[in-house]
Amino acid sequence: PSPDDPPYLRGLNAPQREAVLTTDGPVLVLAGAGTGKTAALTARLAHLLYTRKAYPSEILSVTFTNKAAREMRERVGRLVGDVVEGMPWLGTFHAIGARMLRRHAELVGLQSNFTILDTDDQLRLLKQLIVAADIDEKRFPARALGGLIDGWKNKGMTPADLDAGESELYANGRGQELYAAYQARLKALNACDFGDLLLHVLVILRSHREVLEQYQNRFRYIMVDEYQDTNSVQYLWLRLLAQERKNIACVGDDDQSIYSWRGAQVENILKFERDFPGAKVIRLEQNYRSTPHILGAASGVIANNGGRLGKTLWTELDAGDKVRVVGVWDGPEEARRVGEEIEGCQRSGKTLDDMAILVRAQHQTREFEDRFIAIGMPYRIVGGFRFYERAEIRDALAYLRVVAQPADDLAFERIVNVPKRGLGDKAVAKVHQLARAQGVPLLSAAARILDTDELTPQARRSLGNLVGDIARWRSMGETLPHPELARQLLDESGYTAMWQAEKSAEAAGRLENLSELVRAMEEYESLTAFLEHVSLVMDNDASADDPKVTIMTIHAAKGLEFDTVFLVGWEEGIFPSQRALDEGGLASLEEERRLAYVAITRARRRATIIHAANRRIYGQWTSSLPSRFVGELPPEHVEPETTMSGGESLWRANWSDRADPFADVARGSGRGPGWQRAAGSGSGFTREAPRVLESKASAVSFAAKPRGDITLGMRV
């Protein structure tokens, strides 16, 4: 380090600097949680801009979430100034895919104003196709087909790429046919789904040399965060785009691979070195995020997985508090307890923005939301569809979609009789028939049917009004700011009035949501930009800036950090999830364990793990067992606590006298269950005498570090 270092290099350690300064040629940074991978990638981006190695528009930077993209943009902005104004290619794979696809839509038979369908639209469409194909939807549900299609798209497979085996997975071999029908239908609607944002682009890059070359030339530098969670189609993209210049830097951590259910392949880490021979592999070992107790707890849990690439982690931070493990009576007590603890932290001067509650599954948020609403605790839900999923929001969006994109049949269908305007199923069916017969969108068919005498006078009048209104809103949209257009549209359509008429508390909430929607639109340049945002962004954290506690899934928390973290619902059947337990395989359990590792390593200073003894499931109270991961926490890093009478350490008792069916397989390397280690010796470390967390000394890297450091040895 020298005093003349540009600002973005200051404070980086040697391997981080190497990751920043090795701009040319392939680079793979492989390192544990909190070692500054994202920080290094951000500095690298700053470096490329600062040294003018590339224009902002010549760098492709992939982040895992929209939020991460926003943060990286801001940080780079602070480091190198305004140059970052245009960094068009900084975002998630999906956002980047959408951008590329809009430019080349015609190459896959779409128009550039295509709609991006969400899961709900996708399912409705699939249902229609399944019915039309005379398949029993009860036996072969749309959801199953949707899952298969997503999977194929994640693998980069078009209908033509499917073999008989793949096709066999749906309705006795009709998978391919239905997939093809679905793609054709999407094309007719000028729409695509999420998977298409990646697949269509792959198809374009593969089949249009000139387009591929254009991007290969454009992207002088490519970088990817959270590389361990790329799926095949994403990997194929990267390989194509980077093949020419080979300036690609990927950072990742195999222990944090938690999206295999979405097709992510941790093997992509291994493929990288094969596809980019001579890649420089950089390892970061100093953790800057978490205290030794938190790291020790996380390392102790993940050590139970087999087949890891392995790495060393150490930290210079003070030991800090042990990880607290709290047993409570039931779900409501869990929420109450967390609320109280958060208030306690607030009283001692900590801000809500530094606190997070991490849940395994989305549905777990409700209990906390209810509680927080009751005690007036500001919170935000990150990473869920919550806001945009609400019915009234979906309705309003459907109106806006029809206006923006008249061929959007799904949106038209949704609003054609909402609010009720006397258009019965019969009338709608006739519009459908005409649309099919003439091969036009529903809205055009609706206009044409007015010239016939197919409809009853009343239906004709209503439909005529609607068609006229939509045309009027469309032309209003040319001059009116889009939030104003939305406001008027909601009024004139009678939609607002419909909820006003209801006069219930719930309806009032819906009206507030509608105003919030209009407010949200103000942040976007155009209606199209807003609708695209809605399709892409799943969080609703953009509103007021005042401090809030964050509630989110562990999946959504990847890459983030908080001072204080509450890890709730650590019970068998919740975490690890029932599904992972039912599947019973080692792989799914190990993925859950990686999730536990991600969860614990989000904490900087304080981590509290909570498990409840009772849960209400489908209205029935059932008693639950503490998670096996609780049993795997090394006791020297943990402070157990229970609010229930009669057992100071219920969790350990539970795991010590229980025959665990997974003990041998699932905990890796043939070791006994966690509680044995808890009772055993030598698995911990102290500040005075750094020791290793692994009981197998041979499997451990034991690096000598400067005085006072702590080595958390992990399998190498």
Active-site residue, 38 included: yes
Contacts 24+ apart (CB under 8 A), 512-515: 513/387, 513/390, 513/392, 513/393, 514/392, 514/393, 514/396, 514/490
Question: With contact defined as beta carbons under 8 Å apart, do 551 and 365 qualify?
Answer: yes
10 Å Cβ neighbour count for 520?
A: 20
Tell me the site size for Mg ion, rule CB under 5 A.
Answer: 3
Q: Binds 540, which of Mg ion, ligand ATP, none (CB < 5 to 8 A, cut-off by type)? A: none
Among 559, 569, 573, 673, indicate the residue that binds ligand ATP (CB under 6 A): 559
* 77 in a known ligand binding site: no
Q: Which of 118, 225, 253, 561 is catalytic?
A: 225
Under the criterion CB under 5 A, does residue 483 sit at the interface with Mg ion? no
89-103 burial code (b ≥16 CB/10 A, e <16) = bbbbbbbbbbebbbe
Active-site residue, 37 included: yes
Site track for ligand ATP across 236-275, x = CB under 6 A: -----------------x--x-------------------
Please state the separation of Cα 479 from the chain's center in Å: 36
Kindly tell me which of 100 and 282 has the beta carbon lying closer to ligand ATP: 282
DSSP letters along 73-89, please?
Answer: HHHHHHHHGGGGG--TT
Under the criterion CB under 6 A, does residue 563 sit at the interface with ligand ATP? no
Among 559, 576, 626, 673, indicate the residue that binds Mg ion (CB under 5 A): 559
CB of 16 to ligand ATP, least distance (A): 6
Q: Comparing C-alpha atoms, which of 577, 633, 580, 644 is closest to residue 609? A: 633
Alpha-carbon separation of residue 366 from 120, 363, 369, 371, 617 (angstroms)? 21, 6, 5, 8, 13
Helices and strands, number each (H, E), in the chain: 32, 18
Q: Which of 121, 166, 226, 592 is catalytic?
A: 226
Under the criterion CB under 5 A, does residue 63 sit at the interface with Mg ion? no
Kindly tell me which of 32 and 339 has the beta carbon lying closer to ligand ATP: 32
Q: Which of 16, 37, 153, 601 is catalytic?
A: 37
Tell me the site size for ligand ATP, rule CB under 6 A.
Answer: 19
The CA distance from 320 to 326, in Å, is 18
Under the criterion CB under 6 A, does residue 38 sit at the interface with ligand ATP? yes
Q: Binds 289, which of Mg ion, ligand ATP, none (CB < 5 to 8 A, cut-off by type)? A: ligand ATP
Could you tell me how many residues make up the chain?
A: 716
Among 16, 26, 32, 38, indicate the residue that binds Mg ion (CB under 5 A): 38
In this structure, what token pair is assigned to residue 12?
A: 């980086």
Residue nearest to Mg ion (CB): 38
Give the helix ranges, DSSP H, for 384-523.
386-389, 391-404, 409-415, 425-438, 442-449, 457-479, 482-492, 495-502, 505-521
The CA distance from 352 to 354, in Å, is 5
Can you name the residues that pair with 566 across neighbouring β-strands? 357, 608
In this structure, what token pair is assigned to residue 711?
A: 């080595």
Active-site residue, 660 included: no
Site track for ligand ATP across 17-36, x = CB under 6 A: --------------x-xxxx
In this structure, what token pair is assigned to residue 652?
A: 């350990």
Site track for Mg ion across 18-37, x = CB under 5 A: -------------------x
Kindly tell me which of 16 and 365 has the beta carbon lying closer to ligand ATP: 16
Contacts 24+ apart (CB under 8 A), 488-492: 489/399, 489/400, 489/403, 490/396, 490/399, 490/514, 490/518
Kindly tell me which of 28 and 171 has the beta carbon lying closer to ligand ATP: 28
Among 288, 385, 662, 702, indicate the residue that binds ligand ATP (CB under 6 A): 288
Kindly tell me which of 180 and 309 has the beta carbon lying closer to ligand ATP: 309
* 427 in a known ligand binding site: no
Helices 175-188 and 119-132: crossing angle in degrees, nearest 10, is 120
Under the criterion CB under 6 A, does residue 12 sit at the interface with ligand ATP? yes
Binding site, annotated residues for ATP: 31-38
Residues that bind Mg ion (CB under 5 A): 37-38, 559
Residues that bind ligand ATP (CB under 6 A): 11-13, 16, 31, 33-39, 253, 256, 288-289, 559, 561, 601
Which residues are the active-site residues? 37-38, 225-226, 256, 602
Binding site, annotated residues: 31-38
